[in-house]
Structure 1
Amino acid sequence: MKHKKALNLIKDKLPEKRYAHSVRVAETAVKMAELFEADGDKCYLAGILHDFSKYDDLGDMYQYVTRYNLDPTLLAFNSELLHGPVAATKMRFEYGVKDEDIFYAISSHTSGRAQMLLIEKIIYVADFIEPDRTQKGVDRIREIIFEEKKLDLAIYEITRLTLKQLLKKNRPIYNRTIECYNYYNMVKE
């Protein structure tokens, strides 16, 4: 899929604020691609498309999980987690985006997972650090990326912060997020 087509696709579907966020994620991902020697075009496309299903109907997302044999444990979660795997599946089966790097980057951008691919790592981090993000810990993550250039450490810190928030809110935690934390805790240096 060409960049312009992807931009038009999300512009027609997402609210203006989410569209602008997606553009910032894509631009941040391209900067990170330069730092970590990744494919900038793939990073841009994955960044633009990562939130494609963010506002889809929850019932429809559950149907995608079932119809496309996605991890059945996803059915225990809401759109905050589901929108990544559903968007990746839609891109693959409805829009012809067959690239594995882009598929995994979109699919895992909210949960993370152990042993992520390079572009997958970049989107996971770019979504957290794009310029308009102000959540606790974001400045430290930006420092880890742009000054220390330690991608795995950034993933570990983001996942640690995410787990802390989920526990504080007494929310369920997806098994891949725990696996992500454990894996990047071991390889973060």
Structure 2
Amino acid sequence: MSKIELNYQNKYIRLSRNELIAVIRDSMSRSRFKHVLRVEQTALKLADKYNVDLEKVSIAALTHDYAKERPDAEMRDLIISESLELEMLQFGSNIWHGPLGALLMKNEYDLLDEEILEAIKLHTIGGPMMGEVAQIIYIADYIEPKRSHSGVEKARELANKDLIKAISYITNQTLKYLVKKKKKIYPKAIETYNAWVADN
């Protein structure tokens, strides 16, 4: 499928898409930046298919890993100074970077749209009540073209048929992986499982 290009109407952020891309490129490694661009295109195709606001989805996709490569010490300080959930400190940057990315985009670029901020915040652990923008970023981050983990093809198939079924499958796969590896599971990830997988 061809690449989706769009021009921002500046309803949600004061930057143009090209300006936002420049900010993101400067905030991370080259390999992560390429991942972000792939997530954006994957998310835009889903948004186009399911009739979700393309500009919101683009901004959320481009900024979802904004805090991913910040130093751990800086992120810890932010969690404490901004009175975020201190339980996060037990888990590391895989859990931190979503909520902190949303916070930093809000503080540094006046990004105030709640749907976009929710999508950035929840893209790794999901949430019981994710809106459509958050659903799409959660899925796109998991299925972007360079992902090759177990179950990704099934997730891609489901994403093209039903967002809800895709979220249920991805959440189940993620929890199974964490259990198999005997990793600590962030409580909010269990809330996502209970909402989207259990009894469904």
Q: TM-score, normalised by structure 2?
A: 0.89
Cα distance change on mapping 1:167 and 1:187 into 2, 3 Å: closer
Among 62, 67, 74, the alignment partner of 2:76 is 62
Q: Secondary structure at the match of 2:197?
A: helix
Amino acid at match of 1:94: E
Among 177, 181, 188, the alignment partner of 1:169 is 181
Q: CA deviation at 1:68?
A: 1.7
Provide runs of 4+ in structure 1 moved above 2 Å. Answer: none
1:152 corresponding residue in structure 2:
164
1:53 corresponding residue in structure 2:
67
The alignment status of 1:26 with 2:40, answered yes or no, reads yes
**Where in structure 1 are there 5+ consecutive unaligned residues?**
none
Q: Secondary structure at the match of 1:83?
A: helix
* Structure 1 contact 152–187 (Cα < 8 Å) conserved: no
CA distance in 2, matches of 1:49, 1:14: 11
Among 173, 183, 189, the alignment partner of 2:195 is 183
Q: CA deviation at 1:187?
A: 7.9
Q: Which has the higher helix share?
A: 1
Cα distance change on mapping 1:85 and 1:41 into 2, 3 Å: same
Q: CA deviation at 1:186?
A: 5.2
Amino acid at match of 2:91: F
Q: TM-score, normalised by structure 1?
A: 0.94
Q: Secondary structure at the match of 1:4?
A: helix
**Where in structure 2 are there 5+ consecutive unaligned residues?**
1-12
1:10 corresponding residue in structure 2:
24
Q: Secondary structure at the match of 1:98?
A: coil
Structural mapping, 1:100-179, within 5 Å: 100-146=114-160, 149-179=161-191
The share of aligned pairs that are identical, in percent, is: 37
The alignment status of 1:79 with 2:93, answered yes or no, reads yes
